[in-house]
Amino acid sequence: MSAPLQTIPARRGKAARVKAGQRITVVNTHGTQVVDTWAFSADDLDEWMAMEASRAWFLKLAAAVGDSFVTNHRRPILTLLEDTSGGAHDTLIAPCDAPRYRLLGVEGHHDNCRDNLHAALAALGVTAPATPSPLNLFMNIPWTADGRLSWGEPVSTPGSYALFRAEMDLVVAFSACPQDILPINGRTGQTTEAHFSIE
């Protein structure tokens, strides 16, 4: 990781342009932070990394090293090359959003991954026409053999990372998940920054 680290501020989003062939490292700096991740074709924001197409591609609930995520046009967009985090990266759960926090009893504004996505894209000068289901890096949603899901705590350690290769020119967007009511970011109430690099 020789490229400079960029910050995904706690409870906020950050987007960046990436060229085909470049590598993206996402670092769980403090070990407990979920990072919701989206990718869009740089040429056409209507083409995005799609969890439902990716599961059909690698035929698993979660990717392993060597697997590619594909777009809603069935083209590879990100390939997972290395992973030191323990491999709990959720493909099943929606990004948190304002209605989610209202249901959890929050009155008024609460930071949320959906708004963070669109704010991060706006800061790059691009607009996404929808909110795709994200790749929730470091988010631990265990499943049971009979299909039950639960909100797990992170298994990743401080400084662990996931490394991807960009398979097309793309826009990547991250949100350091501000969920502080469920223990998805470690103990309840804890939200931290994370980092990424592009090289």
CB of 113 closer than 8 Å to CB of 36 = yes
Q: Which is nearer to a second copy, 61 or 124 (CB)?
A: 61
Residue 176 contacts a second copy per CB under 8 A: no
Shortest distance in whole angstroms from residue 189 CB to a second copy: 20
Shortest distance in whole angstroms from residue 139 CB to a second copy: 11
3-state secondary structure of 116: helix
Residues 18 to 77 in contact with a second copy, rule: CB under 8 A: 50-53, 55-56, 59-62, 72-75
Residue 79 contacts a second copy per CB under 8 A: no
Name 24's Cβ contacts closer than 8 Å, sequence gap at least 6.
18, 78, 163, 164, 165, 166, 172, 196, 197, 198
Shortest distance in whole angstroms from residue 94 CB to a second copy: 4
CA-to-CA dists, residue 93 to 10, 56, 72, 139, angstroms: 20, 16, 17, 9
Parallel, antiparallel, or unpaired for β 76-83 and 160-166?
antiparallel
Which of 7, 20, 143, 157 touches a second copy (CB under 8 A)?
Answer: 143
CA-to-CA dists, residue 10 to 14, 44, 195, angstroms: 10, 29, 10
Tell me, rounded to whole angstroms, the distance of Cα 17 from its chain centroid. Answer: 16
Shortest distance in whole angstroms from residue 186 CB to a second copy: 19
Query: Tokens in use for 127?
Result: 């607009």
Shortest distance in whole angstroms from residue 144 CB to a second copy: 8
Cβ count near 103 (within 10 Å): 8
Residue 100 contacts a second copy per CB under 8 A: yes
Which of 4, 108, 125, 129 touches a second copy (CB under 8 A)?
Answer: 129
Residue 119 contacts a second copy per CB under 8 A: no
Which of 2, 4, 103, 189 touches a second copy (CB under 8 A)?
Answer: 103
For a second copy, the binding residues (CB under 8 A) are 50-53, 55-56, 59-62, 72-75, 92-94, 97, 99-100, 103, 129-131, 133, 143-145, 147-150
